[in-house]
Amino acid sequence: MIHFLEVTNQVLFFYYLLSNLAYLMMLIIALKTSAAHLRHLESIPLHWIKGSPLAPPITVLVPAHNEEKSISTAVRNLLDLDYPQLEVIVINDGSSDGTLQVMQQEFRLRLVRAVYVPQVTSAPIRGLYRSDADPRLLVVDKEPAGSKADAVNAGLNAATSPYVCVVDADSVLERDALLRIMVPVLADPKRVVSVGGIVRVLNGSEIEGGRMRRVRLPKKSIEVIQVVEYLRAFLIGREAWARGNMLTIISGAFGVFRTDLVLAVGGYRSRAIGEDFDLVTRLHRYLLNQGVDYCIEFVPDPVCWTEVPSDLRSLGRQRARWHKGLLDVLWPNKDMLFRPRYGRIGCLALPYLWLFEFLAPVIELGGIATIILAACFGVLSGAFCLQFLLFGYAFATVISIGSVLQEELTYKRYNDWQDVARLVSYCFLEHFPYRQFHMIWRLQGLWQYLRGDLVWRPMKRQGLVEDPRVGMRITKNIL
């Protein structure tokens, strides 16, 4: 028993060490990539793209369910984006509130008879509405199906552009976001099939007229710690994976895809829990099977600001759902593992996700249990504890601080030194005690998936409703 505890503790130590070394390598790659991206962007005049007839048209797809309090602000924001050829399709996914009525009043919608070809599967369509206020706006009213993926599929069937951009209804895009995210496509239109943009935390900031007025950190600790998470996930993780053409997820809040390829793989899988991760993985599989030379890019500069949960219960539900979505993609695609046909995706990206994402909460729980047992049996050495703290907690904290410093050295969205100081201080709390809460939520998600509980549970979040006195958002419930 004592020998078993000693071995498992050493395994846990090397697991943490290997995980953090991988993140350190990704941080180094991301720093180099960010610098190269900024130099490249300086050489491209965005006003040229804005005025160029060669810029390919984009259809922005906005799935909306019970968004009556924020849909007008969201749509106005999208119609005001800087891009030469733009179409906005809002999919009213069986809303039981006044979402459709608000859009009818705000944008003067009229029912139209148009050809609607269901190339990918979705719930039945009730009607199509065109805006008399802005003909670029089309509203698809459909029966509810209980998933965002089904709503996006309905929008895909109505889209007329060679590229589609999926945006959440409770998110805000910066005015030049589409111009910036299309830079890789314009540089290499034959190879670049999809591009993801960075998603940042909106909570605590001020918006006015559908635009970001002032970027500030949230007041709540639970929201600030998510800012650190998002910076590390996007500025380190996704940027590094994209550098090796191994990006397996483009956020459902902001991503551009070639329309023909999304249709070729059957659109979004309507029952997928993590529809964004699922679509990108299926695109990799399809293109590798076809032997196509392709690239899926990530651009860290075009910003999408989105709401994050502001209470523990909602955050726990979100993270449990994310972990269910991870397993829901990894398991059906397990045949891609270590097969030469799937190259770096099958030999590096997917094995990493299995070992350091999916199995992480199980290994961490087992590690905590063996450390406690080793302490009870008196075989927990002081040297091991010091090494564990140094290479587990301290190493991971330094990497989180690195993501914050990378943000300040490159994009500088948080200009207030007090906000930067708060971000750095929360890096010390992310791995204890927040990481342990995160472990529990992910274990809940795993258990829910194994017993067939795939229900999308409601979360209390912030909306895009504005207080006209100060331009601030006010709280609402989003189900």
DSSP codes, 431-478: IIIIHHHHHHHHHHHHHHHHTT------B--EEEEEETTTTEEEE--B
Residue indicated by tokens 């207030």: 416
Sequence length of the chain is: 479
Report the candidate in 282, 87, 73 with the shortest Cα–Cα distance to residue 168: 73
**What are the helix and strand counts (H, E) for the chain?**
19, 14
d(CA 231, CA 407): 7
- Residue pair 255/283 in contact (Cβ under 8 Å)? The answer is no
Among candidates 241, 248, 228, which has minimal Cα distance to 308?
228
For 297, the 3-state DSSP assignment is strand
In 3D, which of 71, 146, 133 has the Cα closest to residue 107?
Answer: 133
Residue 97, CA distances (Å) to 68, 83, 100, 349, 461 in order: 7, 32, 8, 42, 17
Rounded CA gap, 230 and 144, in Å?
Answer: 31
Structure tokens that stand for 209 in this block: 């007229």
368 backbone φψ class: left, alpha, beta (φ>0; ψ -120 to 50): alpha
Q: What is the pLDDT of residue 469?
A: 44
| Contact yes or no for 366/16 (Cβ under 8 A) | no
**HSE of 147 in the Cβ direction (CA atoms, 13 Å)?**
20
pLDDT the model gives residue 110: 96
Please name every residue paired with 192 in a beta bridge, in sequence order, or none if there are none. 295
One digit per residue, pLDDT tens: the chain, 479 residues?
787 887 888 888 889 889 989 999 999 999 888 878 777 777 777 777 777 777 899 999 999 999 888 899 889 999 999 999 999 999 999 999 999 999 999 999 999 988 899 999 999 999 999 999 999 999 999 999 878 999 999 999 999 999 999 999 888 899 999 999 998 998 899 999 999 999 999 998 888 766 788 888 999 999 999 999 999 999 999 999 999 999 999 998 899 999 999 999 999 998 888 899 999 999 999 999 999 999 999 998 868 998 899 999 999 999 999 999 999 999 999 999 999 999 999 999 999 999 999 999 999 999 888 888 888 888 777 877 887 777 778 888 989 999 998 888 788 888 788 889 999 999 998 888 899 999 999 999 999 999 988 766 556 655 655 554 444 343 333 33
Give, in degrees to the nearest 5, the angle at Cα 403 between 402 and 404: 90
* Phi and psi at residue 19, to the nearest 5°: -60, -45
Count of beta carbons in the 10 Å neighbourhood of residue 357? 16
Q: Which of 324, 352, 328, 326 is nearest to 338 (CA)?
A: 352
Q: Helices (DSSP H) in 244-359: which residue ranges? A: 259-264, 275-290, 312-330, 343-344, 350-352
Token readout for 59 is: 């259809």
DSSP 3-state percent helix, strand, coil across the chain (nearest 5): 55, 20, 30
Classify strands 58-64 and 163-167 as parallel, antiparallel or unpaired: parallel
Which tokens hold the place of 436?
């342990």
